[in-house]
Amino acid sequence: MSGAAKAPILFSPIQVGDMLLQHRVVMGPLTRSRSPKELVNDMNVLYYSQRATKGGLIITEGTSPSVTAAGYPDVPGILTAGQANAWKKAVDAVHARGGYMFAQLWHTGRVSTRRFQPNNELPVSASTTKSSRRAEPARALTVPEIKYVVNEFRTSAKNARDAGFDGVELHGAHGYLIDQFLEDSSNLRTDEYGGSIENRARFLLEVMEAVLQELPPSKVAVRLSPYANFAVTDSDPVALFTYVLNRLNRYKLAYIQMTEPDFVSL
């Protein structure tokens, strides 16, 4: 490459929210199941520090923002102060290498089983339905329970801030809880959280508003999968996600991550 030649776009800087990334190679969220008792440990700290680059962004593995969120073994949490303090060691290690780090807040909803739930209860979802990815059905969240989960997201966003994260990403994709509310194959509700597109988007937007009480929009992101078939579908995804994106764009978030539209159901 001659001295006058420009570096490939992939390796050029870009502003993302408050971050000036030095390149565009981002480490996406990868579930590791290496955090017994929902606590990040020295192995997790080493894992993330080894992958940090100067001016690069790491999005954590899915992290539980609720007591009902987990659906896989040994997933870390961020709902409690103890969980946040454990994460701080990993965040500090990434920052020491000049990198940035977002925490992905991940509620699996019906993609869970009793073994992961408080008091061996059924997993929760938008409606009383069953995921093809799990043998057990879920129960529908009541409206007061929805408000409680929304507040758990807020607490988790505060904890992420206190742990030093550069921001949070809401996992609203791939058939997990937020997606279960959005799409009409899994949301059969007839109250203010179901039926119309506006109602089905209400949970996502309430979670977003709660998180934005703890973090500025420049430190908040969301992941969506309009066409990915992860055991949930919508009868009119274009109309649904056009509405959702128009609403989200009002916030001027750090970014909106759209996963590729060629997944098949697991």
The C-alpha atoms of residue 133 and residue 265 are separated, in whole angstroms, by: 9
Q: Is the pLDDT of residue 96 over 60?
A: yes
- Considering the four listed CATH numbers 3.40.50.150, 3.90.180.10, 3.20.20.70, 3.40.50.11740, the one that applies to the domain covering 28-258 is 3.20.20.70
Query: The pTM is what?
Result: 0.94
Active site residue 176: yes
pLDDT at 135: 78
Read off φ and ψ for residue 4, nearest 5 degrees: -85, -15
Confidence tier at 134 by pLDDT (50, 70, 90) = confident
> What 3-state DSSP class applies to 19?
strand
pLDDT at 230: 83
Per-domain residue ranges for the chain? 28-258
Q: What is the pLDDT of residues 205-233, one digit of tens each?
A: 999 999 999 999 999 999 999 988 788 99
The CA-CA-CA angle for residues 253, 28, 64, to 5°, reads 75
194 token code pair: 């179901």
| Options 176, 193, 243, 255, the catalytic residue | 176
Of 14-18, 35-39, 123-127, 130-134, least confident by mean pLDDT is 130-134
Nearest one of 139, 131, 126 to 230, comparing CA atoms: 131
